[in-house]
Structure 1
Amino acid sequence: MTQATIGLIGLGTMGAALALNIAEKGFPVAVWNRTTAVTRRFHAEAGALADRVIPTESLVELVAAIAPPRAIILMVPAGPAVDDQIAALAPLLGPEDLVIDAGNANFHDTDRRASAGLPMRFLGMGVSGGEEGARHGPAIMGGGARADWDRIAPVMQAIAARAEDGTPCATWMGEAGAGHFVKTVHNGIEYADMQMIAEVYGLMRDGLGLPAAAIGETFAGWNQGALKSYLVEISAAVAAAADPLTGAPMLDVILDAAGQKGTGRWTAIEAQHLAAPIPVIEAAVMARNVSARIAERQAGEARFGATPQPLDLTPDQLEQALIAGKILCYAQGFAMIEAAGRAFGWQLDLPGIARVWRAGCIIRSAMLNDMATALAEDPSRNLVLAPFFAEKLEIAMPALRAVVARGITAGHALPALASGLGWFDMMRTGRGTANMIQAQRDFFGAHGFDRLDGRDSHHGPWGAKA
């Protein structure tokens, strides 16, 4: 009997797609699902790939089907389900066998598992791309011992997406939870990118009075230029789509309450611990939370009114505003990753991360090639200061200012775009206003402050001793 190169547990949407991808690339894969009927159905529907799929009906059978030293991918819900699955596998595996958590795990959980003294090897691996990516080529972010990643790298790089230069979008990020951390920040950027696109959609719909089809055409045109990306591409597609039940534009029949699985929230929480400012991502998380409060929003509209006024803006201005917002958002995300590397002792390769994100993942974008180049020149420099992106921002910022100023004045909600603009203005202000905050803190708490002239006098004349 042929032994599998790798095993996979969990044949939900993502797990099933990933298993077929592995088989299609020539690697026999043993699969197991808690519900045996799911395993049997998956194998029966694998078609031409069925010969490379080994269905098993128990964990003992799964382990026996994999060539040692074994590698087993977990595609189960994040949290306790992962711990339960590891505990069930522990008696069956040896010290050189490897368990790979490829779900959307919190990186703190991955750190805990990596240091828990498990009787087997353990990797945390971020996988991005949704069902389509898992099936035909995701972006893969590995975290754990480098030697463990190297063992499975031939399989992971074979199934990963390929950038335009042919480079596989799969690499090792660093020790322990580094892979899941990078995936978390990826998802935070994803939240922000989606929110900014939604805000610009709202401006076109409510400010310019454009129908959904025209908005779709506009997004499609933008996808041929600097904004070329998966999210702009699919925004064009969804805006152009019609509801098969009513014939109305699909967007016009969808409830405006956005779901979330927690990774954007994790990004915002961790940014606070790292003192890494990511206001565009934080605004996007907030906006999703507000979107779910439908009854409160309806009550607010009844009390205060919510009729945004028409806008004197052009599609070109909206395009430039979105370009600026995208640069600011990615700059914040990469700065957060750089801060995490310093805080956790990870040797994170920022240009390598940008290259991994060029294909397969949800935030893939034409800009990432230039971001990889800029980060390779100076990984510690904020992207807004890289010459290429500084020049782009100089061109685009007047449009972002006009869009935010006119949009807010006319009553349009623009939390992410406005947050990006506020952050940028702070970043370009050599002397800000935090001196007032330091004076206040010293006044009520005698916290002290540093002086511009460097003198050894750290309290004001408001009662604290000098």
Structure 2
Amino acid sequence: MVGLGTMGRALLLNMADKGNAVAGFDIDPEKAHSLVSDGGAPVDGFTDIKEFVQSIHRPRAIMILVPAGAPVDSVLNSLSPYLEEGDFVIDGGNSYFKDTDRRLKEMEGKGFGFMGMGVSGGEKGARLGPSMMPGGTEAQYERVRPVLESIAAHHNGTPCVARMGLGSAGHYVKTVHNGIEYAMMQLISEVYDVMKDYHPSDRDCADHFAGWAEGPAGGYLLEITAHILRYPDDKGQGM
């Protein structure tokens, strides 16, 4: 894992907890050298990119979780001199899907594989079980599928991860996912604004959201909305 910020660190420790052999890299020594799994086992952390790459068994699969845009290109340029044929890199950030297509061509031109993968669930999801939307070839996906399935959230016994298709399919699906999620957040905000005219108490509003969360429109966003509205502030009132 390259990038041990909030998401990268959580996802790496999730992998370690599930028994996967992992290593992490970050330019910040404190982040790189403070990795400990829930089981208490230390996780190898590096601040030297060459040492990090050479520590990984071939053929290598390296995930990067850094901010979208120029940081992704910078990481790929730093990794490339030390990669070998058969290695491939997974971009697990929120990259623009057209950038993913460009990077795929650039990496394949150097003899390496590249996969874009959407990761949903935030820090808690990354640590305890995210939903993941990888692209890439079938062969690439099969190489990392056991690891991804081991760390994914599960719904009715099925891991919440599936290959979306070739090229930038994973990042494209994540873009659509984000658009739907943000629209739902806007809708919840507008419903709350209207409800306040009829239910001055946030606890009354919370009861309505909790009821909807139990119905066909239910989901995480409605659940946490109800929870937030019931959470008392320093005056004992709703947030």
TM band (smaller chain): over 0.9
Number of residue pairs matched? Answer: 237
Cα separation, 1, equivalents of 2:165 and 2:40: 33
Q: 1:130 aligns with which of 122, 127, 150?
A: 122
Cα separation, 1, equivalents of 2:29 and 2:38: 19
TM-superposed deviation, 1:46? 3.5
Q: Deviations along 1:110-142, whole A, 9 cap, x unmatched?
A: 011111223421110000011111011111101
TM-superposed deviation, 1:63? 1.0
The answer for the alignment partner of 2:3 in structure 1 is: 10
1:50 match: secondary structure: coil
Q: Deviations along 1:160-183, whole A, 9 cap, x unmatched?
A: 11111x111111101110000000
2:191 match: secondary structure: helix
Amino acid at match of 2:238: P
The answer for the alignment partner of 2:184 in structure 1 is: 193
Q: 2:86 aligns with which of 90, 96, 120?
A: 96
> Could you list the runs of 4 or more consecutive aligned residues of structure 1 that deviate by over 4 angstroms after TM superposition?
none
The answer for the alignment partner of 2:167 in structure 1 is: 176
Q: 1:230 aligns with which of 213, 220, 223?
A: 220
The answer for the alignment partner of 1:157 in structure 2 is: 149
Amino acid at match of 1:138: P
Cα separation, 2, equivalents of 1:211 and 1:55: 49
Unaligned runs of 5+ in 2: none
Q: Which sits farther off after the overlay, 67-76 or 115-124?
A: 115-124
| TM-score under structure 1 length normalisation | 0.49
TM-superposed deviation, 1:57? 2.6
Cα separation, 1, equivalents of 2:219 and 2:112: 40
TM-superposed deviation, 1:225? 1.7
Cα separation, 2, equivalents of 1:146 and 1:202: 47
Q: Deviations along 1:315-338, whole A, 9 cap, x unmatched?
A: xxxxxxxxxxxxxxxxxxxxxxxx
Amino acid at match of 1:105: S
Residues 78 and 118 (structure 1), Cα distance of their counterparts in 2 relative to 1, 3 Å cut: farther
TM-superposed deviation, 1:20? 0.9
TM-superposed deviation, 1:47? 4.8
Cα separation, 1, equivalents of 2:127 and 2:6: 10
Alpha carbon RMSD of aligned pairs, Å? 1.3
| TM-score under structure 2 length normalisation | 0.95
Correspondence 1:39-438 to 2 at 5 A: 39-41=32-34, 43=35, 45-51=36-42, 53-116=43-106, 117-164=109-156, 166-206=157-197, 208-244=198-234, 246-250=235-239
Larger radius of gyration: 1
TM-superposed deviation, 1:48? 2.1
2:68 match: secondary structure: coil
Retained in 1: the 8 A contact 2:17–2:37? no
Retained in 2: the 8 A contact 1:28–1:54? no
Cα separation, 2, equivalents of 1:14 and 1:68: 25
TM-superposed deviation, 1:145? 1.9
Retained in 1: the 8 A contact 2:192–2:205? yes
Unaligned runs of 5+ in 1: 1-7, 251-466
Cα separation, 1, equivalents of 2:168 and 2:54: 29
2:32 match: secondary structure: helix
| Higher share of residues assigned strand | 2
Cα separation, 2, equivalents of 1:225 and 1:91: 53
